[in-house]
Amino acid sequence: MADDVWLVVGLGNPGPSYARTRHNIGHLVADELAARTGAKWKQSKQVKAEVIETRISGLRTVLAKPRAYMNESGGPVSGLLKFFKLDPANLVVVHDELDIDFGVLRCKFGGGDNGHNGLKSVRKSLGTGEYYRVRFGVGRPPGRQAPADFVLNEFSAAERKDLPFAVDRTADAVESLLTDGLESTQGKYNS
């Protein structure tokens, strides 16, 4: 994996009203990775995304945050892969996951969309689901709350206390995935 260029995409919705919602965990992790490199986000002229070309653990990496709504994420992701001439096997998507408890991570390659509109859009645009995913658990909605409403709400007060640690750990998992590979990363971070 060490000679490759990587595209790491944090999924989310654009705009300040969505910034701290569960659905935007991908953006929060991308921001943490960007902060670690000291690089600043720039609006891509080629696709609807903010990007940073940098190095993570010595590896050429493109960090990206699509500036499209979650259910339209596929267009920017596909456009970035084409622009940087990358294969989906060099793509890591960071996203929220309802079926995993808050803060629990699961790293994997390929798989289904599990009802996630961002992943559905990426699959439709790429024609494949064969890329890496770092799935951040946000848990199931309480009571009868609709899943869409739940992910578009901010984290609870208790979750916000743990969120900085969880985002930091997720960024660590992304770095591990790039440098150490999937199996090693799963052993360290899949809880």
Point out the residues that are catalytic: 23
Structure tokens at 120: 């559905």
Please tell me what DSSP assigns to residue 190: B
Contacts within 8 Å (CB) and 24+ apart, 163-169 = 163/28, 165/103, 166/102, 166/103, 166/136, 167/25, 167/28, 167/29, 167/32, 168/32, 169/103, 169/105
